[in-house]
Chains A and B, each alone.
Chain A
Amino acid sequence: MSQKDKDINNETNEETTDASREEIESQNRRASDEQSTSRDSDGRDPYGNRGDERLHGSSEMSTHMNSDMPPGAGDHGGLDYKNLPKSTPGWKVLVQELIADKLALFSLIIFASITAYVFGLTMFLDQAEIVFVDLFAIHEPPNEEFRLGTDYGGRDIFGQLIIGTRNSLAIGFLVTLMSVGFGIVYGLISGYFGGQIDNALMRVVDFFLVLPFLMIVIVFVTIVPSYDIWTFSAIMAAFLWMGTARLIRSLALQETELDYINASKTLGTSNLKVIFSQLMPNLVGIIIVNGTLSLAANIGIESGLSFLGFGFPEDYPSLGTLLSYATQTQTLQNRWWVWLPAALMILVLMLCVRNIGEALRRAGDARQRQA
């Protein structure tokens, strides 16, 4: 692991080549020339992390220099409000935390490259050809034609792995987007209005919580003759939004008590605007963390259902289907190429997303920050 860490450091260092470094320095010089009419340009960064920023954010250098000006240094002229200093926004803290946590950065790079590779490659793969049964090529070990061998139907494992990963990821993203999106709106409304509305909305949540999620999904899959990624995600999301809704509701209840919400109300802002432009931005850290962590879980859920045989049919590749071949002892013992790549893929994906989520969670908590 430490070797890999060093590799990443080298990579990032290589990115800032000598040429770009010179450019940055000249920008610095120009920026400080501009400021020399005002007060001293050696300001403070509220987060004290300028060193890191210089390495990574070279394209944003000019705006960043502005944020380095000391408080009140912008009062030359008074009317050129376009150049008034802006301070470090909250999302930069997230980025800084991700960069400081080498494991999370590494995970992010791996996850991003797997996602890009998988989604890119599936555009060139022909799914019909991959799932075509070829009885003359059953159970072939990895060779030149089939990079990861074939399964009991003579189907290419590598192709199935790529398409399966794409399906799992797509479903994971979709389910997360739908369930977290709905959960946020639901929780915000419940927490903001409180009282009887909150009471009624939370009883609905309780009702959904007691429903046996797995059984309903299995029944749905058995009854509905054909389904695609969208309907499958929707039915899963319908039973996965309650956790987010409860979390957001509890935080919204706390946050609504604060005076800035009262202030907004007395200033004549409508409830809807208060909820989405005042309340929600204050919960955005939690929302991101919650979304990332449930993404990891949702990728696993699809694989799990397919593994049990209630996911997509066999002509629709999925990581879970590949894994379920391992229930045959013959395959488990002698034909590792059928199931091992899929198992590793699930492991790597879930670990990566989890590491990223943990780093984001830490960024929201100043005491645990590493940056």
Chain B
Amino acid sequence: MKPSSVLALVAACLPAIAWSQHENHGTPPASAAEVRRPPAPREWTRQPLLLPGKNPRGERAQTLLRVQGIAPAVLSVHAPAGPAERRKVDYPVAPEGARIAPAAPQVGNYHWVVAREESAEAVKVASTAWYFSNPGDSPKELLRSVKHELEIVPAPLPREHGSYRESEKWRFLVRFEGQPLAGQPLTLETEFGSRSTFLTDRDGIATVLFPRDFKPATDQAGGDGHGPRRARFVLATEKEAAGRRYLTAFNHAYGQDADRDRSLGWGAAFGLVGMLAATPLLRRRAARPQGDNGNA
């Protein structure tokens, strides 16, 4: 049997090509990796957080999110697309958290999750972007729409196979009731204890530098079984308006700098060896007899 026939058979039996499905199963940009991590021994921030709960079966279609530093009645999950009645779904928060799911199949990977605690004097919001394996629309419209008063909006979110990482700069838009806030302080805290503050520019954009602060791997932080190590961070900002204090936090995960476990020297060395291996080909071959085209 010809090799092409064998491969045709294999390809017919297996779900072969699916570039459009890539987002359905590829590396999520961070949050899923957190699921396998043991809980941190102590709180590393006082900001309100939305954290992944245990997901022992490794389910991709839903996840358990728990809250920390905030006491919401529900988690609101905003979808990037789908039927109007499913664009925002509220999930009651139980003691262990809330199990959330995509609004509908094929509406998009990223969903925006909001926990809100409100009183006459203050509004506290914890927010995050959760990546489901659910291909569909990009999160552009999801991020553009106003979900609550004071917002920290990633601009952009990491795409598939990407993530926030140490030593990288990422942009975040801070807006209040849909309008960009200029000169607004945005505070970054990381699981490894770094803390820094950035100011938004006149367009409301803060360029956040993720610190190179990963500690050596321990049971408490970092390792997630496979792939680059990840840790948590939170961005927070506050504003007073009309006699109310607004506090909003956005938390997600960031990974260690790829340079930490990679060697450019080794990489270049093997590349050079490959080049050297090809150099004999550059020697001019002996001339062929006239009229011999090698196809006789």
Please indicate whether A and B come from the same complex rather than being unrelated chains.
no
Interface residues of B (CB under 8 A from A): none
A residues near B (Cβ < 8 Å) are none
